[in-house]
Amino acid sequence: MTTTLVHTGADLRAAYATRPTATRAVVMTMGALHEGHASLIRDARARVGSEGLVVVTDFVNPTQFAQGEDFEAYPRTLDDDVRIADAAGADLVLAPSATEVYGDGGGFRPDSVTVDPGPLGDILEGASRPGHFRGVLTVVAKLLGITAPDVALFGEKDYQQLVLIRRMVADLSMTVDVIGVETVREDDGLAMSSRNRYLSPQERATAAVIPLALAAAAAAGIDGPEAAIAAGVAILQEDPAIELDYLVVTDPALGPAPTAGESRILVAALVGSTRLIDNRPARMGA
Ligand code: PAF
């Protein structure tokens, strides 16, 4: 094993000091690593080369979970994570405590300075999970500060998160390069996610309908966004085991759907008690 596990920013900086000129890439995770994360780490390695440093952060961020969400139950598998990160080519795994990231209390204090995601943080996932993107953007800003990377890679699976991180980096004049990496899927098309491990075998089979609905929506997009939505929703409503939250068409930056041209289709649904999200690019119009 060549990957080094560190728990503090000070230890990370000490590791950097041995390779001061190396280009640094960071892959931020909440642990529970799977093949989707491994592909981000491999991509990071390919971008910085053998001389570069690839850092994986492994931190279940309490401030992006609302009351009653799965913060306590979220899978914590650090030993496996380090093994997977190592096999995918990471040099360092940073697994900080909540106190290391947030100071005393391990979360937001009433007087904390935090990142306001703006109106894009209130739609879609933000509408169902109030405060979620304030927590995400604040921890991403903190982890960018701690890891000081040249490039940061995020999966397209969390598309709204990716768009908001790009917006934060642009609007707050941060200098890191943000790279979006295509979603890795299981053989039946289900997007890989740490939350898939909550699904029972029957729910897991049901969940495969979600990428099928996205595909049907994308195909119907030739007749415009309304047809796309109708086609996708129809597929999901056929299965009573799926509770649809939203299926929408937007432009690639999450603005209003174009009647013709590049767009994004995003879906969120509950399968049992597990909330799953997915998305894909599509073209509207002929
Ligand atoms: O996508 C995730 O795993 C998390 O939201 C992130 C970006 C690591 C912030 O906690």
Q: Which of 50-64, 66-80, 162-176 has the lowest mean pLDDT?
A: 66-80
Cα Rg for the chain, rounded, in angstroms? 19
Mapped onto helix, strand or coil, the DSSP state of residue 177 is: strand
Q: Is 139 in the pocket of ligand 1 (CB under 6 A)?
A: yes
Q: Chain-centre distance of CA 37, in angstroms?
A: 10
The CB of 60 under 6 Å from ligand 1? The reply is no
Q: Select the CATH number that applies to the domain covering 4-181 from these four: 1.10.1200.10, 3.40.50.620, 3.40.50.300, 3.40.1440.60.
A: 3.40.50.620
pLDDT in tens, 212-235: 999 999 999 999 999 999 999 999
In whole angstroms, what is the distance from residue 109 CA to residue 113 CA? 9
Query: Which atom of ligand 1 sits closest to the CA of residue 30?
Result: 3
Q: Tell me the sheet residues that pair with 92.
A: 4, 55
Give mean pLDDT, residues 137-143: 98
Taking the CA of residue 155 as reference, the ligand 1 atom at the shortest distance is 1
119-139: pLDDT as tens digits: 999 999 999 999 999 999 999
**Ligand 1 in reach of 61 Cβ (< 6 A):** yes
Can you spell out the DSSP letters for 227-274?
HHHHHHHHHHHT-TTEEEEEEEEE-TTSSBPPSSEEEEEEEEEEETTE
Share of the chain above pLDDT 70, in %: 100
Q: In what order do the strands lie in the sheet with 53-58?
A: 4-6, 92-94, 53-58, 24-29, 151-155, 177-181
pLDDT at residue 1 is higher than 90: no
Which class for 93: exposed (0-12), middle (13-18), buried (19 or more C-beta within 10 A)? buried
Please give the average per-residue pLDDT across 96-105, as a whole number.
Answer: 97
**CATH 3.30.1300.10 for domain 194-280:** yes
| 7 counts as catalytic | no
**What residues does each domain of the chain span?**
4-181, 194-280
Average pLDDT score over residue span 143-162: 98
What pLDDT, on a 0 to 100 scale, did the predictor assign at position 123?
Answer: 98
- Choose between 175 and 67: higher pLDDT: 175
The predicted model gives 257-261 an average pLDDT of 96
Q: pLDDT by residue (tens digit) across 24-59? A: 999 999 999 999 999 999 999 999 999 999 999 999
For range 139-143, the mean pLDDT = 98
